[in-house]
Amino acid sequence: MQQVYEATAEAFEKIRGGGGPFFFWIKMERLSSHTSSDDQKLYRSEEELRVLEKFDPLKCWKDQLIGEGMITAEEYAKLDEEIKERVRREYGEAEKADDPSPNELLANVTKPPPKIDKEILPPGKYRIGDTVNKTLRAGLEEDPRRILFGEDIEDPKGGVFRLTQKLSTEFPKQVFNSPLAESTILGVACGLAAYGRRPVFELQFIDFIYPGFNQLVTNISNLRWRSFGNWKCPTVIYAPYGAYLPGGSLWHSQANESALAHYPGLNVVIPSSPADAAGLLWTAMHGEDPVIFLIPKHLLWAEHKYAEPIRAVPLGRARQCTSGSDVTVVAWGNTIEKSLEAIAKIDNETSVELIDLRSIVPWDKATIENSVGKTRRLVVVQEDTENCSVGQMIISHVTSTPELWDEMISPPILVSKANVMIGYNPIYEYAALPDVERIVAAIRHSVITKHERAAVAGIGDSGRPAKQPEYVQPGSTIPATVEIGKRRVQSITVPVMGEGIRNAKVVSLLKKPGDPVALDDELCEVETDKAVYPIQSSFTGVMGEWKTKIGDTVDIGQELGTLFTEDELLADQFEAAAEVSAKGGSVVPTRRDDRGRGSPETVLKKPGSAIPATAIEPALSPTVTRKLSRVIPANLQIGARWDAIRDARELAKKEDPEDAPSPSVMIAWSVVRAMEKHAPFRRLILEDDQIVQNDDFDLGIAVALGGDRLATAVITNANRKNWPEFVKIYNETVIATRGGRVDAMNAPVVITSLGAFGVKAAAPIVVPPSVGTLFVGTAHRELISNKNKNETAEVITLSLTFDHRVVNGAGAAAFANEIKKQIEGFTIPTGKTRAISR
């Protein structure tokens, strides 16, 4: 053990010094035979066995403790005997104990789920993504033992699906990023839960659970059972789940609830609505056993309106979505939406009772039995693979229940993905999954079929209609092109953006009717919860008409406008673009006459040549403009003497002429010290106008880029840096930002300057989530009052713009004066200490 410790310490020192990674190959001796039925003397030499004792870690540890005077030989002998006596005693007690009862076998697999009737969210419009986030927030607020842990779940990312956005900002001691290691995530969950915490851990996709499968099925699931109820593992593992979103394929589209449901001790739930997502998650977080919480990502952003408050939902209770008398349809997750569409298509042809199972383990046998007993027909629709599946489990239960089987009119039908993976191409994906046509066909087949009692009816009918359905390219809800004479009118549609996104807001229209359009030109921008997406042209041509306007909410696949293109094939356009690009030019569309006619040839625009009506991007992005619309700005200005900064700079240049810290770094250091003393300027104003305050905070530095563009360099946890660290990170961050790096912006205060242009004062803008922007003017001489006389001095103007929603004038003035004090009293901090005020 000591050798491992010393070698590891040495390795860490070399790693931190840039020496690269290390690999340890540690040889461990096996001190005894492998099992009681094994005799290692048969295959190990006497000499080898004789020297084993010196490798015994207990003996080595004893010798070291005695040698270092930590314990005497007599004390060790006494302790050794006490332990041996305890072991003998426990063996004796076990031998005398009564044999266990077979009735106890199922006693400690899981504890019955809690029965909670609590209002979680008020009435309103919600999406699953919203209710998961709000329920997690309520759970963190309710119990400080509750911990969130997962890949990139901290702000500003807030998880790959933004399910945890803003939570690490509000609960920095309860929400943490994990390593990119699912085995670690599940292992930490088990350990924390066993010792009294309430972990709620995220996996980016349920497909990724398999690297942690050993932790799940040999530790988490059976901890209660193998300890006979003395230990428990109250943890929630939640993850996006399922397909119906093109492009996910093998590793981002699995529906694998059957594999998870196979292991005793795990509860598995799959909500299909925002209310169920909140209700089931709340119950799961208050249970005493592990719950796998699977979130259908296709349904994440589908909005529902609720007139009543959203309440906790018990595990193991199904939900009746529609009432009917002809056939029972059982579905869950993504297939609920498909089943509802199928029922709408059938209309009044058949009376369908749709049941959302929503809880896979435990599952609601009674509700399904009652429904099938009434309709005497059963169709199960699942997204998972057919083999050894939940759907087969349900059908097996129904057909093995005599009172149900005796009354059934037709054999049960399973509509399922076959024994095949999800393909890369959307055609493969949608061909594999249950769709509306197959569900409709299965319902109709169930209604018209009657089985003969003398025959053994098959229960594995897939329900697939004889005629294969025609598959439509996802998002192609309108014709792609319409020919008009020798021109084509190409529709501009909202593309599939993945991750369950259903709609977006139009934030800019970058082309006007009649504007020329080249390949990859940005036509417009749409904004979702995650980002602003440019929609680019796949054609050359001329902009037609817009069928939307800025501010509209548009659905995936909706037509936004039209584009006039030539008869030229798309492939030919790409070829022409590649050829011209190789010559150093660019492709522009042909100019047309007043009848819309044009030449089919490509026009080569030489670099530097002018084209008419060039579209100019606005100086501020649409997102920034939108955020500014909510700000209530105010500005104040104050002068600060420059001599302390000038003197410190001169002293630093003498000590280190090449790498002396700049005045900008010194001012930034002073601002951080002022922020520590004034809490309002450690606050952030979030997207929903909620204001949060942090003890640790970032600092933003405005950086000018080419083309009159701006970016913000961010020093994260600026208040935790000592002086050498601060100088180094400041310089590295600014250089990286100038090189194109984009930092996540969660800085309460941003510093800006136009010193290179000799600007003495200006009123900057403040963009949320920041609450203040400090403009630092260029140093200049000014007549100032000094007690009873006036004198000239070198000063800078500090111009602070602040958001009045967060702080009032007096608080802003106090903050500005503190910055002035820090600047006027600045000296270079020594070593790892902070700045010293004069």
Concatenate the DSSP letters of all residues of 687-753 into one string. TTS-EEE-SS--EEEEEEETTTEEEEEEETTGGG--HHHHHHHHHHHHHHHHTT-------SEEEEE
Residue 433 tokens read as 């999954």
Query: Residue 363 in contact with residue 314, Cβ under 8 Å?
Result: no
From residue 542, alpha-carbon distances to 11, 46, 209, 563 in Å are: 63, 90, 49, 6
- CA atoms of 193 and 195, how far apart (whole Å): 5
- CA atoms of 257 and 385, how far apart (whole Å): 10
- CA atoms of 464 and 442, how far apart (whole Å): 7
For 427, counting Cβ atoms within 10 Å of its Cβ (0-12 exposed, 13-18 middle, 19+ buried), the class is middle
The secondary structure of 44-55, three-state, reads CCHHHHHCHHHH
Element holding 432 (H helix, E strand): helix 426-432
- CA atoms of 460 and 804, how far apart (whole Å): 66
Integer-rounded Cα radius of gyration of the chain: 34
Both ends of the chain: CA-CA distance in Å?
52
Element holding 482 (H helix, E strand): strand 481-484
Q: What type of residue is 677?
A: K
Query: Taking the mean position of all CA atoms in its chain, how far away is CA 510?
Result: 30
Q: CB count, 10 Å around CB of 686?
A: 16
Name the 3-class secondary structure at 35.
coil
- CA atoms of 286 and 561, how far apart (whole Å): 50
Q: Which entry of 34, 252, 451, 804 is annotated as an active-site residue?
A: 252
Name the 3-class secondary structure at 359.
strand
Residue 264 tokens read as 């005793």
- CA atoms of 664 and 669, how far apart (whole Å): 9
Residue pointed to by tokens 């006979």: 228
**Annotation says 451 is catalytic:** no
Q: Which of 362, 366, 164 is nearest to 269 (CA)?
A: 362
- CA atoms of 723 and 729, how far apart (whole Å): 10
Residue 729 tokens read as 């990170």
Enumerate helices (H) and strands (E) in the chain, giving the number of each: 24, 36
Contacts of 307 (CB under 8 A, 6+ apart): 123
Q: Which residues pair with 563 in a beta bridge?
A: 490, 543
Q: Which residues of 647-675 are buried (b: 16+ CB within 10 A; e: fewer)?
A: ebbeebeeeeeeebbebbbbbbbbbbbbb
The secondary structure of 245-310, three-state, reads CCCCHHHHCCCCHHHHHCCCCCEEECCCCHHHHHHHHHHHHCCCCCEEEEEEHHHCCCCEEECCCE
Concatenate the DSSP letters of all residues of 502-537 into one string. -EEEEEEE---TT-EE-TT-EEEEEE-SS-EEEEEP
Residue 77 tokens read as 């002998």
| Residues with catalytic function | 252
